[in-house]
Amino acid sequence: MIERFVIVPRLMPVLPLTYLITLKKMFMNTFAKNHFVLIGLMLFAGLTATAQKTATTDNSKTTKATEMKTYVIEREIPGAGKLTAEQLKGISQTSCSVLKEMGPKIQWVHSYVTGNKIYCIYKAESEELIREHAKKGGFPANSISEVATVISPATAN
């Protein structure tokens, strides 16, 4: 809220200082509020990342944590490119329900639908989990390849 000032000749030298102080207070209140929100979000994001890292790290000295590997799964599905949005939604829902049942050792990243095939990108602890997911979901898994490395145009730099 901006305060209104009445200009009185003997207060003229004080007016600009008072006005500046008021503006500074208003700016700092708004600035501080926005920065507290921003700092709070940054702290929350940092704590969330730490919690996720802690949750996935096994601190037990008797077992070794298994690293998630990335896989490309080729699924031969005749007419895949002609599936409707509703059909693709149904397939996705089936996959997600199987993944939920299987737990955090396997994750679906995304898939590419082409004419007669769907190429899926998964993260999993093992190829066996990919095969188990395909069997439980009723999906073909014609080829499963572990990703060795990823390249992109940035690799050329």
pLDDT at 40: 41
How many CB atoms neighbour CB 116 within 10 A? 13
pLDDT at 88: 97
Task: Write down the residue that tokens 């004419």 correspond to.
Answer: 115
pLDDT at 25: 58
What average pLDDT values come out for the chain (157 residues) when binned by 10 residues? Answer: 50 48 53 45 40 42 71 97 97 97 97 98 98 97 98 96
Show the domains of the chain with their CATH numbers: 1-56 (no CATH), 69-149 (3.30.70.3090)
pLDDT at 21: 56
Task: Write down the residue that tokens 């944590």 correspond to.
Answer: 65
pLDDT at 66: 73
Reduced DSSP (H G I as helix, E B as strand, rest coil) percent helix, strand, coil of the chain, to 5? 50, 20, 30
Task: Write down the residue that tokens 């190829």 correspond to.
Answer: 127
In 90-140 the beta strands, taken as DSSP E runs, fall at: 106-113, 117-124
